[in-house]
Structure 1
């Protein structure tokens, strides 16, 4: 069986579906992103974000294929000043991370270009990268008057942000055709997460040694995910003359879920280059190893209700507590450390990660100042992102160990002999959640942690 038709826009008539919006629970102040009231002493959540990526035909280098989010950097809003040559080496995958105006919220997302458009002479990366650029601009300009993407007074949500980016792509005459899947996350200072997922990109929310929540892929059929599309007039005319329909879903078709966040949560947003090659438990195993080895997650003697368990590094206690006070020494190289130190851009994370064969591997990584990320060094979030990308890359070229895609092939086509992983572009965005007490000042803007 060939997989060259992966995400190829179907030329047959698409099945008509009756759309019904999923039930949603409002959070915060009804989705309106605005500062807390003066004098509020509620906990404030900050989000440390990094991304890692690699095109399917390129070797992966964790020191250069990495991006550190810096909310202080001003967004470059003119898409024409960011040509294809300046894009990250992520192939047809794209991502964005942006602060949401001056609300203290963070928006992020991943888009995966539909490779089938290459048969029509269209570069799928134009759509996916354009979509992410416009979503980033819409988030950054939120609440500012007189800007093209912030003219509406409607509250910002993950689905609405996807819709704003999609409408901007449709109006961009340089993007004549194409399509992509998309997953968009919106994280607020009060610890709420809203996710809009359309297609087979997705996310997972991890807590100490547990998968707390995850998205489900949206597909019309095997290997045919939901997708946003721009269909050129000549193709529309051909379909009108000879029949058939172009598969093109809308942001309203995205599945929207809402989640409460806790201190020490790890969020992973990724393209299907990850989900086709790694199971959720594989990602949990990688994240748990790194979080435990760095002291971000710590095994304690008492734990919940005095019965033993896992603690999250919470600041001052983690900085002063001796490793000897915990029941289990995870690795000799893992000092007790707090999330604030581990997630700073000037952090220098050196961990010994337990591999399956119990070998201790020095996983120190340094990012040169000349790379495209905003600052050098290694952070906890960049360590997690690059480890997941490296694992997905290795699994994609493994021809013996069956991954999620191989198991799906067997489910739909029991007589096929597909084994191993699936080579594809890979894009990962990782968020480490930190909860800190509010200072009661009620300032207008709470910066997200680097």
Structure 2
């Protein structure tokens, strides 16, 4: 199944020529086949926050100032019930979100099912596919957006987030149209693959290019801009991630940060971003002059490759999360819930994957995961913490620390209110020893 959601809301950033707006809300969704992204920060407006004590489980083992972990990534042998076959993995996903101006509601701000069933439409025309999506059914997530889709008839899946550039509001445009449209086209292109493609496998950078081309040619999307972070996850455990801008992806495994994306920025609080300039603005610039709008291309995305393990957790989120939660914060939240719910268990001073993981993610094909699933609870916990931290005027979050670093005279303290979107995927190895459902 596939679906796309987007959200835009919240703080206005600098104009599109200098910076994208802060609005970023979260959308949630949970399916049995997808992977998540993680961190990257960019500057925003927010209030102070009170100091918080991290969970004793939050002890990252990788240097957080590096884009990848040392040789430990993917180096651990996989567990399998058979030594004669390669392990196969499924990705159990949920998303939680909150528009900047809304109160957080754990039950309403959760998505665990696709917005539409791709099996209901056999069209390979991307425009027709996108137009079949009811705009009124989009998640109330502000200017942020996200999507999920099976890749054609393969066992691969793809998912990601996009954060609309709020500065376009000053030009009379709704940034949500661009970010939502981008995600909807990516979902449509993925599920119709390999139609129109001459490649033997789908890559996230290519998927982003196809969607961007469609948005650029879509007359119903007058203009706008967005960052993007997306992945293609294979059943063999290989994941390819493409990140453009300051949304981000985090890979966590057994109480360790295995990867944390670094934001792409032109300058402080000026992330890389895709954009489409309305014809009326192009005419005005041609007649009266003025600076061109900032616009980067999908080919400039940073691409990384990862190998997942049984029990790993993937988090894809917009900067409404990463401006308020550090990698240590996110690890603490995830570790606390994974241990408390029995997904990770302490044994002889170490942490192992619990035997009930299959049951916890509700992997039984007879039903769809719901709000009581492990992935839903973790997604809600991340979004809720980001929301509360963004409104806290006493505790300095990552954004506040960046402001203090680059603009020490601003006296900026606290969190940064913004749209929030967090997508969480729990990795399950098929055939791994587990308890009876």
CA distance in 2, matches of 1:254, 1:239: 28
> Secondary structure of 2:409's match?
coil
* Correspondence for 1:419 among 400, 405, 413: 413
* Structure 1 residue 279 displacement after superposition: 0.5
* Correspondence for 1:276 among 305, 316, 323: 323
* Correspondence for 1:88 among 126, 139, 147: 139
> Secondary structure of 1:52's match?
strand
- Structure 1 position 106 matched with structure 2 position 147: no
* Structure 1 residue 71 displacement after superposition: 11
Match of 2:390 in 1: 396
Residues 275-322 of structure 1 show CA distances to partners (whole Å, capped at 9, x for unaligned) of: 000101111001001100111111112xxxxxx411112xxxx2xxxx
Instruction: Confirm or deny: 8 A CA contact 1:339 1:434 kept in the other structure.
Output: yes
Alignment map for 1:170-181 (pairs within 5 Å): 170-181=216-227
Alignment map for 1:327-338 (pairs within 5 Å): 338=356
CA distance in 1, matches of 2:307, 2:131: 38
Match of 1:385 in 2: 379
Name the larger-Rg structure. Answer: 1
Alignment map for 1:213-292 (pairs within 5 Å): 213-241=259-287, 242-292=289-339
Instruction: Confirm or deny: 8 A CA contact 2:92 2:363 kept in the other structure.
Output: no
Match of 1:164 in 2: 210
* Structure 1 residue 41 displacement after superposition: 2.2
CA distance in 2, matches of 1:125, 1:4: 13
- Structure 1 position 116 matched with structure 2 position 159: no
TM-score by length of 2: 0.76
> Secondary structure of 2:153's match?
coil
Describe the shift of the 1:164–1:221 C-alpha distance in structure 2 as closer, same or farther (beyond 3 A).
same
Instruction: Confirm or deny: 8 A CA contact 1:6 1:224 kept in the other structure.
Output: no
Instruction: Confirm or deny: 8 A CA contact 1:345 1:379 kept in the other structure.
Output: no
Match of 2:361 in 1: 343
Alignment map for 1:65-76 (pairs within 5 Å): 65-69=109-113, 73-74=117-118
CA distance in 1, matches of 2:15, 2:344: 42
Describe the shift of the 1:10–1:4 C-alpha distance in structure 2 as closer, same or farther (beyond 3 A).
farther
Instruction: Confirm or deny: 8 A CA contact 2:239 2:308 kept in the other structure.
Output: yes
Describe the shift of the 1:43–1:213 C-alpha distance in structure 2 as closer, same or farther (beyond 3 A).
same
CA distance in 2, matches of 1:344, 1:179: 37
> Secondary structure of 2:173's match?
coil
> Secondary structure of 2:410's match?
coil
CA distance in 2, matches of 1:11, 1:43: 47
* Correspondence for 1:428 among 418, 422, 429: 422
Instruction: Confirm or deny: 8 A CA contact 2:203 2:232 kept in the other structure.
Output: yes
Residues 74-123 of structure 1 show CA distances to partners (whole Å, capped at 9, x for unaligned) of: 36663334343221010100111111112111100000000000001100
> Secondary structure of 1:8's match?
coil
* Structure 1 residue 5 displacement after superposition: 5.5
Match of 1:360 in 2: none
TM-score by length of 1: 0.74
> Secondary structure of 1:85's match?
helix
* Correspondence for 1:97 among 145, 148, 151: 148
CA distance in 2, matches of 1:411, 1:239: 35
Match of 1:406 in 2: 400
- Structure 1 position 6 matched with structure 2 position 13: yes
Describe the shift of the 1:71–1:393 C-alpha distance in structure 2 as closer, same or farther (beyond 3 A).
closer
Residues 315-355 of structure 1 show CA distances to partners (whole Å, capped at 9, x for unaligned) of: xxx2xxxxxxxxxxxxxxxxxxx2110001789xxxxxxxx
* Structure 1 residue 436 displacement after superposition: 2.3
- Structure 1 position 136 matched with structure 2 position 187: yes
- Structure 1 position 59 matched with structure 2 position 136: no
Which blocks of at least 5 consecutive residues in structure 1 are unaligned? 13-21, 23-39, 144-149, 302-307, 319-337, 348-373, 439-450
Residues 350-375 of structure 1 show CA distances to partners (whole Å, capped at 9, x for unaligned) of: xxxxxxxxxxxxxxxxxxxxxxxx76
> Secondary structure of 1:78's match?
helix
Residues 171-205 of structure 1 show CA distances to partners (whole Å, capped at 9, x for unaligned) of: 11100110100001111000011110000000100
Match of 1:311 in 2: 352
Describe the shift of the 1:194–1:11 C-alpha distance in structure 2 as closer, same or farther (beyond 3 A).
closer
* Structure 1 residue 233 displacement after superposition: 1.7
**What RMSD over aligned residues (CA atoms) do the two structures have, in Å?**
2.5
CA distance in 1, matches of 2:18, 2:308: 42
> Secondary structure of 1:415's match?
helix
* Structure 1 residue 129 displacement after superposition: 0.5
Describe the shift of the 1:251–1:187 C-alpha distance in structure 2 as closer, same or farther (beyond 3 A).
same
